[in-house]
Amino acid sequence: MRFARATAAVRVPATSGNLGPGFDSMGMAHNLWDEVHVRLTTGATRVVIQGQGRASLPTDESHLIVRAMRRGFQAAGLPEAGIELTCRNGIYQGRGLGSSAAAVVAGLLLVRGLVDHPEEFDDAAVLSLATGFEGHPDNAAPALHGGIVLSWVKDDPGRAAPPAEPGAGEASGPAGAGGFAHADGPAPPGEAGEGSPSPAVGVARIEVAPEVRTTLLVPNAELATREARSVLPSEVPHADAAFTAARAGLLVVALERSPELLFEATRERLHQDYRADSMPQSAEVLRALREAGWPAVISGAGPSILVFDEVDRKTADLLADRGFRALRSGVGRKAHLIDV
């Protein structure tokens, strides 16, 4: 492949990973977007950030989108070039809304938008590279494909799957996860992410019933994915795994044709209770919502909450008093290149 143009632009949605019982395998896109414009230059890399993260994200080669583009250049056999980015960020940083996956997918799709044979840099290649960055595909897959999806890393009999780095996965940190940057600062270039193996990934779309509605509850506080990951046990009781697996299967049925089952289908025993102490306010709000009958889950690693219903105005006002903003996000479209 060769560079065919010097400019490109992309829109990428926010995502929620896990969706309760679908730990590291289910994810949903939202109608909340980052938009990124790139221009190739012969000079130094420069990043302009507007919107979310403008006071905390890096503006040089350490920016996650730049690093993803460099990986894409390498994978496509392209020469290095100077990069000028303009990022118009609508996705909240450090809230469990897929900001790092959005950045990685944006960077890789921008590479597609610059080359002469974009069909050779297809969705399978992009998702494989993105999963190498993130550690698993539950945010990158819905960002790339839109909607609600199941995703999994395919077995390679010739190679053991690499373990996810601490902090890899759900996007929760100013510049993301996957070994790049968290709320406690960016990881240096060359750590887990750029050099990680790029596995083959399977994706299956869940055809969501039209009556399914969603609301995002976004708190003021951030949470580092590394912190949220560190509290998870290395082993769980078999009964808890079986309980959660049953609800994961039920969640597919509930989303596709039986929304009345969403409350039961969003129960799980693998991660949310273990993380409660790291986000006590979100844990308390989640507990209150479920006690009131709302099918609510932690979004990704938190601290945002996803409700599979439209939250009424009275409840939204009560949540606002607790520091949570209610957004009727809906089920979002896939990431896509846009005209410049």
DSSP per-residue string spanning 3-25? B--SEEEEEEEEEEESTTT-TTT
Grade residue 228 by pLDDT with cuts at 50, 70 and 90.
low
Same domain (yes/no): 33, 182: yes
The pLDDT value recorded for residue 136 is 85
The pLDDT value recorded for residue 160 is 46
Mutual angle of helices 64-76 and 99-114, in 10-degree steps: 40
Same domain (yes/no): 243, 307: yes
The pLDDT value recorded for residue 164 is 43
Same domain (yes/no): 316, 233: yes
**159 in any annotated domain:** yes
314's CB contacts (< 8 A; 6+ apart) are: none
Same domain (yes/no): 116, 216: no
Range of the domain at 298: 208-327
The pLDDT value recorded for residue 229 is 62
Cα–Cα distance between 102 and 291 in angstroms, integer? 33
Residue 173 pLDDT greater than 90, yes or no: no
**251 in any annotated domain:** yes
**1 in any annotated domain:** no
Same domain (yes/no): 54, 92: yes
Structural domains of the chain, count: 2
Residue 183 pLDDT greater than 50, yes or no: no
**118 in any annotated domain:** yes
**47 in any annotated domain:** yes
Same domain (yes/no): 182, 294: no
Same domain (yes/no): 74, 171: yes
Same domain (yes/no): 283, 212: yes
Share the mean pLDDT of the chain.
88
Higher pLDDT, 161 or 140: 140
AA letter at 21: P
Query: pTM of this prediction?
Result: 0.87
The least confident of 173-177, 198-202, 218-222, 247-251 is 173-177
> Per residue in 66-91, pLDDT tens?
999 999 999 999 999 999 999 999 99
Residue 230 pLDDT greater than 80, yes or no: no
Residue 161 pLDDT greater than 60, yes or no: no
Higher pLDDT, 180 or 15: 15
> Per residue in 186-213, pLDDT tens?
333 333 456 567 889 999 999 999 999 9
Same domain (yes/no): 298, 309: yes
> Per residue in 103-132, pLDDT tens?
999 999 999 999 999 999 999 999 999 999
Grade residue 35 by pLDDT with cuts at 50, 70 and 90.
very high
**111 in any annotated domain:** yes
Q: Order of strands across the sheet with 215-219?
A: 296-298, 305-307, 215-219, 324-327
Same domain (yes/no): 152, 270: no
The pLDDT value recorded for residue 40 is 98
Same domain (yes/no): 192, 216: no
The CATH number linked to 229 is 3.30.70.890
**The pair of three-digit structure tokens given for residue 144, joined into one six-digit string:** 């790339």
Same domain (yes/no): 214, 194: no
The CATH number linked to 173 is 3.30.230.10
